[in-house]
Structure 1
Amino acid sequence: MSARDGEEALGVDPAAEAFAGVAAIGRIRSAWRPGDCPRNLREARAHGGGAARLEIDAPYRPGLRGIAAGQWIWLLAWYGDKRRDLIVQAPAHADGPRGTFALRSPVRPNPVTLQLVRVTALDEDSGHVAIDATDAFDGTPLLDVKPWIDTVDQPPTA
């Protein structure tokens, strides 16, 4: 694949080094398609959120108990169709190359994304969870949902 100036590839295929299996618990649904997708959640919210919702598969629906509308939740999703071999990237928005771990790019050795979203509606029986926004393509595999907990997730003050 072509690279931007300053980008560096790993020289190994991270997928070939895999040690853990993961299972999708559902899918992220949205209006976003390739070529028509915000680059981050801030942009997604500015463009109306993308009709964002989660569809949780039946065996995992009991795991929604205790989640409520208005609550913030973390989503972990799999962007497995992205490159996995870049360890230094040259994003168009930056003033020069940066290490992959200094970026939120989905191009990374393990293409797991992290999103903090607000639940706007929930139906445990159907597994449908409406959320305020996503920057994921429609059908993106959802790996996990975790609650935002103020006492845990809030960075300490200086």
Structure 2
Amino acid sequence: MDAPLRPGEVVADGLAEPDGPRLRIIGRIRSRWGAGDCPRNIGTARAQGGVGKVELDPTFAPALDGLAVGQPVVLLYWLGGARRDLLRQSPRHIQGTRGTFAIRSPNRPNSIGLATVRITSLDVAAGTMGIDAIDCYDGTPLIDIKPWVERADLPPAR
């Protein structure tokens, strides 16, 4: 059952799916990267000037309201070409093997990529957002955008 709407809330018709978990592609990430040259992480993408752009499906454009240029956001995206069956992996940059959940490899049961980026431009009406860097192929499906919030996203001090 849907919770009642609060004042000012807006819903998109036909998007409710009561029959269980599903991913909805809300847009695409645009980058200069392809299969032969994509950096392995966001730090390398920044160092190589890998700026990007988010293009939302027009249905979701109003959801950008409240974001601002300069603000950090977390992008969640689908890495469709990755393996989904590896439980332990041997990355090139570390000695030995580690469990999939101990590394940031795209090869995981649900191939979801995550990057914390900074908004460089924003056009809510057009549903577009420039970002300072991204480490995925051009056209990668976007799953979600969340604001990065220090009080929520920094782990507690030891």
Q: Structure 1 segments of 4 or more deviating over 4 A?
A: none
Per the alignment, residue 80 of structure 1 pairs with: 80
SS of 1:86's partner is: coil
Counterparts in 2 of 1:32-111, with a 5 A limit?
Answer: 32-49=33-50, 51-111=51-111
1:85-108: CA deviations, max 9, x gaps?
A: 011000111110010000100001
Q: What is the aligned length?
A: 139
The 1-side partners of 2:22 and 2:150 are apart by 30
CA-CA distance at 1:150 after TM superposition:
1.4
Equivalent position SS for 2:101: helix
Query: Alpha-carbon deviation of 1:21?
Result: 1.5
Q: 1:81 offset after TM fit, Å?
A: 1.7
In 2, Cα distance between equivalents of 1:82 and 1:151: 32
> Which residue does the alignment assign to 2:154?
154
Letter of the 1:21 partner, please give it: R
For residues 157 and 99 of structure 2, the distance between their equivalents in structure 1, rounded to whole angstroms, comes to 27
* Counterpart for residue 10 of structure 1: none
Distance 2:30 2:36 in 1: 16
| RMSD (CA atoms) | 0.9
How far does residue 37 in structure 1 lie from its aligned partner after superposition? 0.8
Counterpart position of 2:17: none
Three-state SS of the structure 1 residue aligned to 2:87 is strand
Q: Which runs of 5+ in 1 are unaligned?
A: 1-18
Kindly state the Cα deviation for residue 20 of structure 1 after the two structures are TM-superposed: 2.6
Q: Identity of aligned pairs, percent?
A: 52
Matched residue SS, 2:151 = helix
- Aligned-pair CA distance for 1:155: 1.7
SS in 1 for 2:28: strand
Match of 2:9 in 1: none
When the two structures are superposed, what TM-score results if normalisation uses the length of structure 2? 0.85
Query: Separation in 2 of the partners of 1:83 and 1:69?
Result: 35
Quick one: distance in 2 between partners of 1:44 and 1:53? 13
Residue segments in structure 2 that go unaligned for 5+ positions in a row: 1-19
CA positional deviation for 1:151: 1.2
Aligned to 2:14: none
